[in-house]
Amino acid sequence: MSLSIGIIGLPNVGKSTLFNALTSNNILAANYPFATIEPNTGIVPIEDVRLNKLAALYDTKKIIPATVTFTDIAGLVEGASKGEGLGNQFLSHIRECTALVQVVRDFADSNVLHVENELHPSKDIDVINTELVLADLQTIDKVLPRLEKEARSDKTIATFVTLLGNARKHLDDGNPLFSDETLRKEVSEYKQLQLLTAKPIIYLFNVDEATLKNEEKKQQLENIVHPSEALFVNAKLEDELRQLDGPDRIEMLEEYGIKESGLVQLIKSAYKTLGLQSYLTAGVQEVRAWTIHAGDTAPQAAGVIHGDFEKGFIAAEIVDYNDLIEAGSLTKARSAGKVRTEGKTYTMKPNDVVEFRFNV
């Protein structure tokens, strides 16, 4: 499955600098609004040490990690839902993403203008969320009257109409749908609407170096967006990290009391927020990681490889990654009773190394 994360926020909050750091691209990062007009896209492999160990075990050099697509969307401004600052164009780019990362500025720099000429994270968040809410209200208001009429003669859509009515009331009160997780999940099932605030969101605070070490300040910022996920990075630091090799990168992270780079933190947070996990396939031809939803069954996981695998699913031969590495080979793992055959009702686990049997 495809994981696409849209990076949004006001102009001049560090989105493009962060995008460069995450994707190792070199897009324009300028000190004025709308330096990004068309969205920039970068596909990033997800680091997975298990793949290297499996490649060594199977003596293959072909490693295919799971990937995430980052899209740097131009800065939104107040009035975007009415077309301000090319707002309609920018909002359409957001609709194509699986999840959103809202970059919030909390660093002072006289060389980087703030669009509102003041540093105010909670206000900045409100501006972005308000525009997303207004855009969703417009979407619902276009379809709800028609659906209400249709529901009089077609009772099968009555539940959908009720749900949309609840969503509209929630939005009209000034609340994005992601502030009510139950409502968000229910509305997101109707993908044809592509409601912006029905997409899972992660808040990423772009902070100065001092704040990275200040747990009290980070807690204050986290409280602003609770219960949504909050991450803290310094975009300039992340940009420097990508130019260092492994040992130097680790040393710099330790200097700031950080265990993982912003990229690793963001990918882990996205997997958690979206309820995703990965499983592995391995052989002499290649080793590979596949992204699925937590709770997917073996046939559903097979379908990620190819739709025919799910349709013709017979069984899955599965061994736990740790058991396979400890045994030293699939043959030895099988002799030790660590390899098992699972059927259609089996729920996939994150460390499963799988070979599917199917009939097309």
pLDDT digits (tens, 9 = 90+) for 337-354: 999 999 999 999 999 999
Average per-residue pLDDT for the chain: 87
Candidate from 86-95, 199-208, 254-263 with smallest mean pLDDT: 86-95
DSSP letter (8 states) at residue 73: P
Q: Among residues 337, 254, 313, 321, which one has the least CA distance to residue 289?
A: 321
Task: Categorize the per-residue pLDDT at 153 as very low, low, confident or very high, splitting at 50, 70 and 90.
Answer: confident
CA gap 63, 52 in Å, rounded? 7
- For residue 228, pLDDT beyond 60: yes
- Distance (Å, rounded) from C-alpha 98 to C-alpha 110? 35
Show the domains of the chain with their CATH numbers.
295-358 (3.10.20.30)
> What span, in angstroms and rounded, lies between the C-alpha atoms of 201 and 102?
7
- CA 276 to CA 291: how far, in whole Å? 7
In 3D space, the residue among 222, 295, 262 whose CA is nearest the CA of residue 5 turns out to be: 262
pLDDT band at 30 (very low <50, low <70, confident <90, very high): very low
| Residue 164, φ and ψ in degrees, nearest 5 | -65, -35
**pLDDT digit string, tens, across residues 102-141:** 999 998 776 555 556 678 899 999 999 998 999 999 999 9
Residue at token pair 């592995």: 280
Cβ 298 vs Cβ 320: under 8 Å: no
- DSSP character for 244? S
| Residue 257 phi, psi (nearest 5) | 70, 30
For strand 229-233 and strand 276-282, is the pairing parallel, antiparallel, or unpaired?
unpaired
pLDDT at 117: 60
* pTM of structure: 0.85
- Give which of 8, 1, 322, 358 is closest to 196, Cα–Cα: 8
